[in-house]
Each structure stands twice: as C-alpha cells, then as structure tokens.
Structure 1
Amino acid sequence: MAQDSDKEDRSLLVILLEAHQGLWSQLNPETDANGTEEPRHLTLAGFLQQVLVFINTFLSLSDANQVAVIGMTSTTSSVLYTSPSLLSSSPVANPVEVSSNPSHEVLANLTILLREEERQTGDAAQPAALSGGLSRGLCLINKAVSSARAGGKRSALPRVLCLQGSPDATQQYIAVMNSIFAAQRSEVVIDACMLSGSESTFLQQATHLTGGIYLRPKLRGALLQYLLTIYCGFTFSRSHLELPQPLGVDFRASCFCHRRAIDMGFVCSVCLSIFCENVPECSICGTCFSNAPRTPAAKRKVGSAFTD
C-alpha cells in the first residue's frame, strides 16, 4: 500500500553557495597531522562537486524532500536551482532549461552568475552578499510555505544551510541581523559551514538564535563527509545524534557609523542604532542627543514631571 506523501517526513533545504573564483583560490592548502601540506586543497570546482553529491543524497532520502540552491557573489545573489515541485511558486530566474537533474542546472546557472560577476566588477575578493542570499532564501521559503497552506497541504520543514568562505562584511550587519530575526520568528533553522580560517560572527549568531549547527571544518578537502554526517539528516533527529557543539558565540555587534565590531558602544534610545562614538545626532532616525550636563533646576523639573 502506497504511503500518503502528506504524512511523510519532508524537508525544504535552501543552500547558500558562495561563488567567488578568486576567493576560493586564496584559501590556504590544508595540513595534516605531521604538518605537511595536503596536495588537494579545496577549490571552487571541488567544492561544487562535493555539494552536488550532498544535494543528490539529500533528495534520495525522501521523495518529498525539496531543495533550492542560491548562489552568492560580491554584488548579487541568484537562484541556481529549485526542485520541480517548487517551480510553480519559486521559478528560477536565469534562462536555463528546467531539468530534474540539479547538477546540470546548478552548474549552468552558476556559469551565468560568474560571467555576470566578472562583467560588473573585476574584484572577486569582496565578501559575499550574505544579506541578499538570506533574504532571497527566506522569501522563497515563505512563498513555498504559504502556497502549501493555501492548497491545504502540510508544508515541509524549512531550513537554510550557509556555505561561506569569505569573512563577515560589517556593512551588511543590519540586513543580516534582520534576516536572522525573521528566520527565528518563522521557525526557520539556519545551519552554517564556515570554510575559511576565520570565524564568522554573523553565522555564529544565526545558528545560535535559530537552533542550527555552526561548523568550521578542520579538513576542507573532506567537506562531503561533514555535509553527509551533520547536515543531511532531518532536524528532529538531531537530538539523537552526537553533533559538534559550539565552543562559544561571538555576540559583538557592528556599529552603524563605521561598520566595525565593537564590545561597548552608544545606543539610540529611539531606533536602537549602535554607535562606537558619542554622536550628537542619530544618523539613522535623526534623533538629537543632549550631551550637556543637566542643571539642578532641570533635574527638579524632570523629577516633578514623573511625580505629577
């Protein structure tokens, strides 16, 4: 007897891929336990090959599983692939023939995205547009969930997997945090796999607030093993698995004036904007701050206003 597809465990996985050819070539070769360099370090081609195997494995776990792949460059983000069941609500933007083979479609659309990146800018070492990728992924998830509810079907469990190699771009702090809070409100789990040698404050906070998994692999050449053993299973099964636990989360914020991480700063009492310096006026909402000390008469006036 065939099992009802609406009763099956289903997941909607949105994968954010960083597609910087220049950045991937700058990743340092890995070293083994003896301190010698590993000859096969992670390149963009090797990265894509392992990710495509992971996607096909995830889709093979259940016929009800759905995948969307979003590519990120320094200037834009674009949908590279969506499962056929999502095409009606979230069509692929690039003009490539739709196929059920994610490998063909991802590579074809990624080629178009990289060509557009080279045409717009020659600096391929800029940080990825993480804020745009997260926003696009959450919009795709919201549209898919709304379409399922409108049709009277149970929506798939959504989650986002960020595969990033570039460091955080502090100028994206506001947009990234807004996306994280939106994901938390919508109960969307954000997982992160940081492929560079430095930690990502943005992704640490995203995984902590949404209940996801943050990982910085020690051996980038073995990325596929990390993806299959940690990120391939269903989210509800994680409580039964021994998964890597974060050693700590960097909760530092980025100031709105210079876009740099700070430990202490000044917060606007109206819009909650953060500044690293004591400024006379909020550059976000325009609120004027009175930095002059209050006179005894002014203090008595304020006190009487609260007691009346």
Structure 2
Amino acid sequence: MNTPSSSSQPQQVAVLGMGAMGSRMANSLIAAGYSVTVWNIEAAACLPLVKLGARHAMTPAEAVTHAEFVITMVWDDAASADVWLNPQTGALPSMRAGSIALECATLTLGHEKKLAEACATRGIEFVSAPMSGSLPEADNRTLIFTVGASDAAMVRIQPLLLAMGSKINHAGGPLDGISEKLMINGKLGIEYIAAAEMVALMKVGNMDVERRLAIKATTAPFAPRGLREARFMIDGDYTVRVKVNQMIKDLSYEIDQFESHGVPCPLHRAARSAFEWAHDKGHGEEDSTILAKLYEEEARQHGGVK
C-alpha cells in the first residue's frame, strides 16, 4: 500500500470544503504527512490550515491540478455539483486521469450516480466515502467510513482514510457507500427522536432518570450511541454535533431512496416531521438533542407534569 512516506515526495491530496468536518479531515491529513491543498467558498476558512502547512487554492480546479486524491465535504447535492462539475471552476475537468475522486458528504444516490458517470468519462475513479461520526470523532481521528469503491481503489485509499478515521467498511461498488450511509443516518434520525421522547417522559414524569437509564443500558434495544445521545439530553448538553437541519436533509435523502424502490417508510417520515417541527420553532442550527428539551417544554406548557 502507498503511504505518504513511501516515496521521496508525499502524496498530494486536495480537500474541498472547509466546514467543521472538512477542516478537521484536512488537519488529520496534514498531520499524517500528506501534501494537502485546501479550498473553500469563503477563503478565510482555509487560513488555519495554511498555517499548518496546507496550500490554499482559489478554485476547486486549481486545487486538484496535481492531486492523486480529491476529497469533497460539502453540504448538499447543489454544492457538490458546483464543486465537481462547474465548467469554469469545477474539480473534475482539471483532475488527472487515474486520480481518485472521493465524495465524503451525505448526498443523494441519484447525484452520486451522475458524479460516478462523469468520472468514468474522464478516466477518474469515483469513490463514495461518507463517514459516521461528528466533531469529537473527527478530532480524535476515529471516524468510520462506509465506502463504495472498486477493490483496486480500496487498496489505494485505505491509508488515506485511516489517517482520518479508525475503521473502513467496504459496502461494495461505487454507489453502495452512499446507499448504506443513507440507511445508517435514517436509523440515527429515528433513534434521536425515540431518545428525545423517552428523556422528556422521564423528566416530566419525575422518574429516577439515572436508575432508568442504567436499566435501559442492560437491554438489547439500547445501543451505545443511543445511550450516549440520551446522556447528552439528560445532562442538557446541546453542544452542536449533528444539527437538526442536517437530519432533515439526510432523512429526506433516505426517504428518496425508499421511494425509488417503492418501499414504505412511515418511521422515517415521522422522524423527519419531528425535526421539521424543531426547525420551524427556530432550532434548525442547533444539535438534534435539543428535541428532548423541546418535548419537555411542550409537556410542561400543557400541564403534563405529575
């Protein structure tokens, strides 16, 4: 396998999108010894990475000129399309044949199919590599990547991904990564709502919250991640990790996948409606754990206290 130090020159990577996750991923790659070029629509977001040794590019096209790997981490399909496909500034027209395009954002299956087709016409390998985890995992380099890629591409990208995360799950071909990640995030959204309802009930019902949570931890339905979110809700820790608006987006994308196969998804629709309710109350940019507080306030406002 290639590593940043396996030749006289470090491997070159372009990271496009310096939001909360993209900037942390770029930081990890710099620390691992890669030669990193960064781009962001607001150039100021690149400055902390430049101080760490990254090169700043003015456009995605400029950023990818010499890159073997190109990683994007942007908000949605529209942003991704502009970064990759814009005829004047987009990355794909300027990438070298044989390089690898890694889409790490959670996007729609239809959009990633278009990206894969556009890459194929240029001799570029497309990899869907969305990750599970939020800011603490990005800081600790313990992200989990769910990857759709050819076997040959997997060999090349493994050291790169392990510089940013702790585990790689190979889901199958190029589109299988995003397909699986949408299912994972859909389940996450449902678990957020279930935990929020449960925590609000325990608080409003004057239950022994610690005892009840300890009991739940011994039972099969309560996975560690769900218990962690419940702990945040109980403690009133609403530090932004996964925004309400992000869950609305991801659930909408997953519902699209269900609909494309004609599979009913009432739980996913109900979860999206709950997040939309929080958004309509002005909490779209807050962490998803805020749902527990909103449910508790709603109950107390309507006299639901024993």
| TM-score band w.r.t. shorter chain | 0.3 to 0.5
CA radius of gyration, larger in: 1
When you count helix as a share of all residues, which structure comes out higher? Answer: 2
Q: TM-score, normalised by structure 2?
A: 0.35
Indicate the structure whose relative CO is greater, using CA pairs within 8 Å and at least 6 residues apart: 1
After TM superposition, the score normalised by the length of structure 1 is: 0.35
